Amino acid sequence: MSVLALSPVSASVYGVLNVAALTALVTGVFDDVPQGTAFPYVWYVVDEENARGMGRGGMRQVNLRVHAVSSYEGQKELHTIMSKVIQLLEDTALTITGYQAAGEVVYRETVAPFQSMIDEVQVRESVAQFTIWAEPS
């Protein structure tokens, strides 16, 4: 039977990001943003793929997308927040309950900021993508 690594990885990512170095820049770090949350904030999403190859085993590839969301009219605030996110996550060895990290967090890319509407407020959003590998311990 397969067990998803999503919840334990999400908890580990939250522990890495929910520190004073980042929370001094944002109103919060969320995997589920409460309605009415003030800007700027960080929101992250994880999804998972089976990375075991042709054999047996439980190796998981977890794809992490971290969103910085800001109502600031320029990109400076997004760049400051995203720089801190990358600094905190890139090449970090996560502690994942029930799993063993298979290597460190790999930073993939940051997509160009884009505009959207959230709670009738025009915001700018930047997204960084990371990869995490984990196998059951």
Q: Rounded CA gap, 69 and 41, in Å?
A: 5
pLDDT at 87: 98
pLDDT at 1: 34
pLDDT single digits (tens) 43-90: 999 999 887 766 666 788 999 999 999 999 989 999 999 999 999 999
Q: Rounded CA gap, 52 and 48, in Å?
A: 12
Sequence-distant (≥ 6) Cβ neighbours of residue 106 within 8 angstroms: 90, 130, 131, 132
Residue 23 has pLDDT above 90, yes or no: yes
